A and B are shown apart, each in its own frame.
Chain A
């Protein structure tokens, strides 16, 4: 019997994938919120950036992932970061779309109210736009975290022979190890399920804190 932390264990490989997923998710969510802010507060970027953001998602990730790995490897970055970048590349998109909608969701009357208080743009953001956008953020994050996991796994494929669930998948298919492929897939599914549960729990705690009417 080997330890669960051994290199032959799916727990070990799952952890490698999970750390890339989480880092990519944090990158992606931050990037998504940042881009959404830029779009909402700059009308020129609204029209100019959205087409590019949508175009970025039409490029097959399988085609772009090896290039990112190779390019970053050439400048001496390898391991966790390239995988996290691929993961972020997939997960920022739902966050941008959701948060643009969220930041724009205040009603005219709610904005007028702050206008009568002579509130600054920063105050308007903190007191109104951010809290009203939070439900959109959680919806986006649920899509985003699943996309992050896919990104991390795809990022592990071109690395070959390395570690992580993606590497196990690839190795399994090279050597015809069907059981190995299936186990890696199940580990990935369990991971995705766990991550969604975590987002759900955080969402519920936030909702309760914000006094959302129970459905």
Chain B
């Protein structure tokens, strides 16, 4: 297996008016092709910052980061990843199909190719029939699905997802988690997924990265022993609960509540 993301001693410090903030400190991590990696940790542990660094939305201060053997900037210029934000960030003046077309227009795909890809990705996220709707006509969960479709529309093998279901209620979230797993298996993409829900992380991932704040660092990397086929009720099995317990332990060890 080849590695998609390799971070070595990666550190990132933000200069603020109150002095430097160490968002990430000596993060070492390897993500292999086809993995589903969750990043979990309390607010301020740098999980989103790490994702944004991979996406070249933040600049690292020291260490190295390689994506498909390229620097983060080169990877972005090569359009190596799709990014799903916390909010759907659909452009309200564009219909759903036009929103999905946005990256394709920018990357210069032809009109017939765009139409083909829009149809395929809408089908992938079960939104066929909503192509001509505007974002406000869709529920929050559907909007987030549309934004996933947008990230899948072009040929990036890496999908970066920053708490995509954080704002949704639990029922919708369960449903989308199930769909996301199916989608991951069907598309064989590598997914980096930021969350602060333990069940979500354990349910989705092949590898769970536990992080702790101040400075943001990796405290544990847990390889999941769960089978590939995961019905929702797998969450009641002892195996699932054991992994969840280890994640919780890692979170507790790395986090001091005294602050």
Q: Please list the residues of chain A having a beta carbon within 8 angstroms of any beta carbon in chain B.
A: 107, 109-110, 112-119, 123, 127-128, 131-132, 210-213
Contacts and interface: CB of A to CB of B under 8 A. Distances in A.
A116 B134 contact: no
A116 B55 contact: yes
Contacts of B106: 114, 117-119, 123, 127
B57 interface: yes
B180 interface: no
Nearest to B105: A127
B103 interface: yes
Interface string B184-208: 0000000000000000000000000
Nearest to A106: B91
Interface string B23-45: 00000000000000000000000
Contacts of A107: 89
Given A128-B91, A131-B91, A210-B93, A117 B85 contact: no
A210 B82 CA distance: 26
Minimum-distance CB pairs A-B, first 7: A211-B134, A210-B93, A116-B83, A213-B136, A109-B89, A117-B106, A119-B106
22 contacts: A109-B87, A110-B89, A110-B91, A112-B57, A112-B83, A114-B106, A115-B56, A115-B76, A117-B103, A117-B106, A117-B107, A118-B76, A119-B106, A123-B106, A132-B93, A210-B93, A211-B92, A211-B95, A211-B134, A212-B92, A212-B93, A213-B134
B165 interface: no
- Candidate in A107, A110, A115, A117 with the most chain B CB atoms within 10 angstroms: A117
B93 A211 contact: yes
Is the contact region of chain B dominated by helix, strand, or loop, or is it mixed? loop
Contacts of A127: 91, 102, 105-106
B146 to A, nearest CB: 13
- Candidate in A107, A210, A211 with the most chain B CB atoms within 10 angstroms: A211
B81 interface: yes
A118 B95 contact: no
Contacts of A119: 106
Interface string B74-112: 001101011101110101111100000011011100000
Contact of B79 (A118, A123, A212): A118
Contacts of A213: 92, 134, 136
B83 A113 contact: yes
Contacts of B93: 131-132, 210-212
Nearest to B147: A113
B134 A113 contact: no
A17 to B, nearest CB: 36
B79 to A, nearest CB: 6
Given A109-B89, A113-B89, A213-B136, 7 more contacts: A110-B89, A112-B57, A116-B81, A118-B106, A127-B102, A128-B91, A132-B93
A164 to B, nearest CB: 40
- Candidate in A112, A113, A132, A213 with the most chain B CB atoms within 10 angstroms: A113
Nearest to B104: A117
- Candidate in B86, B93, B94, B95 with the most chain A CB atoms within 10 angstroms: B93
A113 B79 contact: no
B156 to A, nearest CB: 9
A212 to B, nearest CB: 7
B57 A115 contact: yes
A135 B28 CA distance: 47
Nearest to A112: B57
Contacts of B79: 117-118
Nearest to A206: B93
Contacts of B89: 107, 109-110, 113
